[in-house]
Amino acid sequence: MGKESREHYVFLSGAISGVIEGVTIQPLEMLKTRFQINTGEPLRIIPTIKEIIKEGGVLQLYRGGLPEITGLIPRATAALSTLEFSQRLFKSWQADGSLKTQYAYLSGGLSGVTEGVAFSPFQVIKVRLMAKEHLGRYANTWDCLAKVLRSEGPLALTTGLGPTLWRNCIWNSLYYGTMHELETRHLQPLGSEVLEAARSFGVGLTVGMAATCFNAPFDVVKSRFQAQLPGERKYTATLPALYTIYTEEGPRALYRGFLPKAIRLGVGQTIGLMVFQRCLTAFGAREADEPPPAAAREMSAAWLAFSDPTGDGIMV
């Protein structure tokens, strides 16, 4: 089967990575959203977790999970397929087939655009369901969607698209560009499957947390936009909203929810990227002359270490 006929597996790989990422990090997404839309005293992680569980049990940590996890399928598909195909395009411009540094970062930024457009409607429903202020207003995901469409119209599902694009393009550019540079130019085999898998997670978490320092304020603005109901539109534009939050609540307010957000992005996106790269390799959808990146090698190594712990070729 030719390479052209396998390119649809790029989209399938993105969808699979989205589901796995969503299930893994949903409780952190709940914490992050609660922190960001809170306008009072700064919240603390453990008391907030206890409060959420008190509201509806452990499963309350997954409230809003259906639109979030469902949305991660088109989000991951759009972002990772854009990343993959744009990188292939930029490589075709070079005689040696390499991806120059500036194009690695540009590919990441482009993936943020398609991700934002695909994911924003799901985020609106998620934020409405997770907001403490709206408890009791919506029975479930479908009730929330119906009420939003009925009372606010379809355009309400694009609320917060502006800050979403700022947030995604900044983070994706920094994360995917830096990860590509590290994987292709700096990470060398360690001689240990376990160490390589641990390194992949550690590097991804570190890069993800560093990138979050630059996009966190836009994520706060995005959540504030999407939590608003008709008649209480305090925030209407991205940059003025940043200024309003800064002047009224102080600079720390722009980094509310930073820790759960940074962990959520670092862990979630690293898992998503590793799953995506591994799926491409498994489906034979990676370009013929392109070896699996470090993250895919390390995920494969981790799986082999788990399934064959004795190294004698007998899988558990």
Confidence of residue 227 (pLDDT cuts 50, 70, 90): confident
The pair of structure tokens assigned to 145 is 């969607």
Give the C-alpha separation, 276 to 122, whole Å: 21
pLDDT at residue 2, rounded to an integer: 46
305 pLDDT exceeds 60? no
Total count of residues recorded for the chain: 316
pLDDT at residue 308, rounded to an integer: 52
The pair of structure tokens assigned to 62 is 């997954």
pLDDT at residue 172, rounded to an integer: 95
Tens of pLDDT, residue by residue over 237-265, are 999 999 999 999 999 999 988 888 888 77
What is the identity of the amino acid at 223? Answer: S
Give the C-alpha separation, 126 to 218, whole Å: 17
pLDDT at residue 5, rounded to an integer: 58
Ranked by mean pLDDT, which of 1-10, 192-201, 206-215 comes out on top?
Answer: 206-215
Angle at CA of residue 19, ends 18 and 25, nearest 5°: 85
Give the C-alpha separation, 234 to 213, whole Å: 25
Tens of pLDDT, residue by residue over 152-175, are 899 989 988 999 999 999 999 999
Query: What is the average per-residue pLDDT within 183-191?
Result: 78
In sequence order, what DSSP letters do the residues of 262-316 get, joined into one string? HHHHHHHHHHHHHHHHHHHHHHT-S-TT-PPPHHHHHHHHHHHHHH-TTSSS---
The pair of structure tokens assigned to 188 is 């060398």
- Cα diameter, the chain: 67
Kindly report the average pLDDT of the chain as a whole number.
Answer: 82
pLDDT at residue 86, rounded to an integer: 94
- How many CA atoms lie less than 13 Å away from 205 in the CB half-sphere? 11
